Amino acid sequence: MSGSDVLHGSGVGRGAVVGPVARAHPAPRVVQDAAGPADAEGRAAAVQAVREAFAAVGEALERRAEQAGGTIAEVLGATALMAQDPELVSQVVGRIEGGQAADLAVDRAVAEFADLFTAAGGYLAERVTDLRSVRDRVIARLRDLPEPGVPALARPSVVVAEDLSPADTAALELDKVLGIVIEQGGPTGHTAIIAGQLGIPCVVRVLGASALVDGTEVAVDAATGTVVVGPDDATRARVEVRRTALAALATQTGPGATADGHAVALLANIGTAEDAARLTGAAVEGVGLFRTEVLFLGRTTAPTQDEQAAVYARALAALEGRKVVIRTLDAGADKPLAFVTRSGEENPALGVRGYRLVRNAEDLMRTQLAAIARAAKETGGQPWVMAPMVATVEEAAQFAALAREVGVEKVGVMVEVPSAALRARDVLQEVDFISIGTNDLAQYTMATDRLLGELVDLLSPWQPAVLDLVAAAAEAGSAVGKPVGVCGESAADPVMALLLAGLGVTSLSMSPAAVPAVRFALARHDLEVCRRIGVAARAARTAPEARAAALALVDPEVREVLALG
């Protein structure tokens, strides 16, 4: 793209838009040496005001969660719980009673919690943005200031902010939001996930975004990860061409397949039954990943079999006989649960997480499997059920026995650990299918925390070592005639989708918004070209070289329409 100034970041999706900047309201500044009330009466009033502010913020977030639904509702609900956390409020109250000003007490208490979350890493580290959002909202209420975040939009705009919490994102007037640009965050953060779910062009980690001025025209291109300030006519024309092309692709339906008719099922990733209901009219062949941990997060006790069965039944009914792959509880590491996760693990990402919870809480697994089987019986559905974080043949066999014991017919496991990929043929002797989680597979292959933005280059699914492991798993499936899916984010990359099809992957699961581009790319290449793409990429020595080798074999029209570079 051309223009007077080009800012660069990481794009989410393939869309492009032109529109005026709408700046988010900044967080209120806190005077770090402000003294609190000197008398007991003043401190009591400050304590009451703080309690009311936290309660009001929590209630407001809950209302937004109820209105949002799906993944957004999950994130907002978890943020509301932070505002209602009695320990956090207690810490603030203690500071006020010790002589601090109310807003300073909120700021300092949240800072302590944020440090703890950051040190814990993983899921908790990702929630620091949400925790700070609670702080900013509470302080704004204490000072009777406008709520931080995006104001009411008078016209369709590109929302620009230093960062956006899930609460900010969920509060957006979607009919007026053209795109999102944030200076911080990352491609795995909540803003990026929600933007992807909503199909909003988004660019994150944009250095210099905070200098953009309200009303300035910008062109946001998620495919190239660029933000052009003051776009010229040529740039505007290219954006319109892309918008028109993507809109046309979205109208196409039908099963995923290569140009010569080789089937590659195109599926959706979901987190709730409401997400499933929204797929009723979507051009997807089913669900390739139902993340059931959404049911468990933020609770002090596990959901009952009745509660779980009701949710699974709603999802199965909504899909009306289409394929539904349900992943059993993936907790621990970056998704701790109060009622089962061990505390004090030095490296929880390598600890008791995912299927390994069966070592300490087998009843939890049995209850979930029984609920899934019950939902299948009630609806007549036939869910495929898989366990996460399986590393050995013994674990695969144990899970298969547990699932089949309660009546689950289609049993599989996730391939996220290099050992499972290398021994995939043996694993497939015990189960009916495997699904490759490329996000975690890259993390464990490259020994890199997948939530650490500055190491994102190491986590590229184009890393040759990761490609070799994906190929090993796919080849094992082809050898024994069993399905091999991919449900990591790499499935949403049209170029990677071609490579995966060439390696023998039988299904690709992704955000529904990503399906049209992947369908288009597959339909323009026959299977033999896909195979050549796989060979060329695996012959490369580095991740950039691997993608370049693959891209060189992609049809020029596909490259142009999807802005693949």
The model's pTM: 0.77
Residue at 73 is within a domain? yes
pLDDT value of position 2: 41
Residues 12 and 154 in one domain: yes
Helix (H) or strand (E) holding 160: strand 157-161
Both tokens of 25, joined, read 């309201």
**Interstrand relation of 484-486 and 507-510 (parallel, antiparallel or unpaired):** parallel
pLDDT value of position 263: 97
Both tokens of 370, joined, read 């029984």
Residue at 196 is within a domain? yes
User: Residue 95: which CATH number?
Assistant: 1.10.274.10
Give residue 95's region: left, alpha or beta (phi > 0; psi -120 to 50).
alpha
* 190 part of the active site: yes
The residue with tokens 């369908």 is 519
pLDDT value of position 317: 96
User: Residue 178: which CATH number?
Assistant: 3.50.30.10
pLDDT value of position 69: 64
The residue with tokens 């929590």 is 58
Point out the catalytic residue in the list 190, 202, 525, 530.
Answer: 190
Residues 92 and 138 in one domain: yes
247, 264, 289: which is the final residue of a domain? 247
User: Residue 390: which CATH number?
Assistant: 3.20.20.60
Residues 287 and 359 in one domain: yes
Question: Which residue, among 296, 156, 270, has the nearest Cα to 513 in the 3D structure?
Answer: 270
Contact 57, 84 (CB under 8 A): no
pLDDT tens per residue across span 255-277: 999 999 999 999 999 988 988 99
Q: Distance between CA atoms of 393 and 445, rounded to whole angstroms?
A: 19
Residues 393 and 504 in one domain: yes
Number of domains composing the chain: 3
Which CA distances in Å does 361 have to 213, 327, 341, 366, 372?
A: 53, 17, 10, 9, 18
pLDDT value of position 126: 62
Helix (H, G, I), strand (E, B) or coil at 312: helix
pLDDT value of position 195: 80
* Low-confidence spans in the chain with pLDDT less than 50: 1-3
Contact 121, 85 (CB under 8 A): no
Residues 223 and 370 in one domain: no
Residues 138 and 160 in one domain: no
Residue at 229 is within a domain? yes
Q: Distance between CA atoms of 565 and 558, rounded to whole angstroms?
A: 10
The residue with tokens 């601090």 is 100
* 487 part of the active site: yes
Residues 211 and 94 in one domain: no
Edge to edge, the sheet with strand 10-12 lists 5-8, 226-229, 217-221, 16-23, 157-161, 177-182, 202-204, 10-12
Residue at 32 is within a domain? no
Q: Distance between CA atoms of 223 and 101, rounded to whole angstroms?
A: 47
User: Can you give the residue range of the structural domain that contains 295?
Assistant: 254-562
Beta strands in 243-345 (DSSP E): 265-270, 286-291, 323-327
Q: Distance between CA atoms of 181 and 481, rounded to whole angstroms?
A: 45
Residues 126 and 18 in one domain: no
Residue at 368 is within a domain? yes
Residues 335 and 299 in one domain: yes
Residues 321 and 470 in one domain: yes
122, 143, 164: which is the final residue of a domain? 143
Q: Which residues contact 433 (CB under 8 A, 6 or more apart)?
A: 384, 386, 410, 412, 477, 482, 483, 484, 485
Residue at 30 is within a domain? no
pLDDT tens per residue across span 26-55: 778 887 777 788 788 998 999 999 999 999
Sign for the pseudo-dihedral over CA of 141, 146, 150, 154: positive
Point out the catalytic residue in the list 25, 202, 487, 530.
Answer: 487
Residue at 168 is within a domain? yes
Contact 202, 180 (CB under 8 A): yes
Both tokens of 276, joined, read 């499933």
Residues 466 and 363 in one domain: yes
Residues 167 and 64 in one domain: no
pLDDT value of position 563: 86
- The DSSP 8-state label assigned to residue 356 in this structure reads G
Q: Distance between CA atoms of 255 and 193, rounded to whole angstroms?
A: 25
105, 125, 143: which is the final residue of a domain? 143
Residue at 34 is within a domain? no
Q: Which residues contact 197 (CB under 8 A, 6 or more apart)?
A: 70, 71, 72, 511, 513
